[in-house]
Amino acid sequence: MDNCIFCQIVAGKSPAYRVYEDKVFLAFLDTKPRFAGHTLVIPKKHYQWVYDVPEFSRYWQTVLKITKAIQAGLKPAFVSYLTYGLEVAHAHIHILPHYNQQMEEIWPSVKHFSSEEMKKIAEKIRKVI
């Protein structure tokens, strides 16, 4: 879909801090992160909802693979997931690394990281995958 920002990222028409890609899925850092390493995992083909993705099991296996890389590369206390999906009408799973043992806000305010910091975060995840 031409007006979908995630489809534009898949097509290489919009920039993204990519951390993982295969033939079916793409993972990249959220440009409005709630935590360092806040990653979105999307199917390359456009589906509105996560439950519409035919490769549903493989989708979550991909999320787990990226979660393990985030754990190894960024050392969060734990990781949670969110499939809210109302901001962009393209299926996406948020991977949210938390850095305190206790649950912070589920959806805290946006954190601001420089482009250089985002590149370093993405690299830490990529090199573990």
List of domains in the chain: 5-126 (3.30.428.10)
CA gap 89, 78 in Å, rounded: 28
CA gap 73, 2 in Å, rounded: 34
* pLDDT at residue 36, rounded to an integer: 96
Q: Which residues is 81 bridged to in the sheet? A: 95
Please check the confidence at residue 42 and state whether its pLDDT lies above 90.
Answer: yes
Binned at pLDDT 50, 70 and 90, residue 43 comes out as very high
* pLDDT at residue 91, rounded to an integer: 97
The pLDDT tens digits for 50-109 are 999 999 999 999 999 999 999 999 999 999 999 977 889 999 999 999 998 666 666 778
Helix (H) or strand (E) holding 89: none
Q: Residue 71: which of 109, 41, 31, 98 has the closest Cα?
A: 98
Tokens 């390359």 map to which residue? 44
